[in-house]
Amino acid sequence: MIVLTTPTGQIGREVLARLLDTGSLDTGSLDTDTDTDTGTGTGAPPVRVIVRDPARLSPQARDRVEVVQGSHADPAVLKEACAGADRIFWLVPPTPGADSVEGHFRAFTDPLCEVIGGQGIERVVAVSTLGRGVAENAGLISASLAMDEAIAATGVHYRALCPPALMENLLRQAASIREDGVWSEAVERDRVLRTCATRDVAAEAARLLLDDSWTGYADVPLVGPDDLTPEGMARVVSEVLDRPVRVHQITVAEQKARLRAFGATEAWAQGVADMVEAQNSQGFYGAAQPSTPATAPTSFRRWCEETLKPVVQG
């Protein structure tokens, strides 16, 4: 049995779609002989999702998964969802209203560690980040790396998926690109910024969830094939959209102020600011990080053609 968190989120919904594409069993016909099948035998394992609002699941998904309603930060909900399961996809959702970045990550991770110790979870596949051994005082990134350490300390078999900047972050500025031909960036615009598409994160997550042969702990870098700076990314966007698009450099302080204006708490906005400052000064999303074509094959141009362009033009 696979437990899936954030099944309606940006990454989680793609993981769910890929798991269901493998032929996961309908929850109405679960058989004890196949509940723990890894997908390498006669059938794929059944899927149970934790979701706050089941109505946000597609009708096709609702018919093929078992649903536990609630938050995976709730120990009771997590315990119910993990009963009889042997693997879990884990993602701590970003929450700009959180009073503490570290406290937010701990509020999700502590119940998971308790469940791992008492309910037979054997494998965890989680979304983390690049930066281990490099990032210091890096806000959200440091909190994510601390999550990895806490989960690994339980002794569970663990894979931490480690993408750099997600290409989908640019979708937040689709309106600005459409209306003004510009997006704002606090990461230094003349330095390489490694990126990854969420589809590649989801593909690797699904592959690992369906494989019961891996053991121990390991980071899994997910670094796209490009070595573009933000300015280089703007040139690609311009070519794909066939119109001029530029990147506007803003300060980290300006980015923090924008987040506060959109309702983020002081703690969350500062956590993002610390993350960007660390990226700029420590370079762990930069040119020194090699690409990983086996796990992150999607180029930025392809992503722009298939994902960004329809959104901007729509």
Domain boundaries, the chain: 2-165+196-221
pLDDT digits (tens, 9 = 90+) for 109-134: 999 999 998 878 999 999 999 999 99
DSSP state of 56: G
Confidence of residue 208 (pLDDT cuts 50, 70, 90): very high
Residue 106 and residue 88: Cα distance in Å, rounded? 17
User: Does 30 score more than 70 pLDDT?
Assistant: no
Query: What mean pLDDT value characterizes the chain?
Result: 92
Note the pLDDT of residue 189: 87
Q: Which CATH class is domain 2-165+196-221?
A: alpha beta
* DSSP code per residue over 237-272: HHHHHTS--EEEE--HHHHHHHHHHTT--HHHHHHH
The pLDDT tens digits of the residues spanning 267-309 come to: 999 999 999 999 999 999 999 999 999 999 999 999 999 999 9
Nearest to 81 by CA among 121, 53, 44, 108: 121
Question: Which tokens belong to 117?
Answer: 């110790």
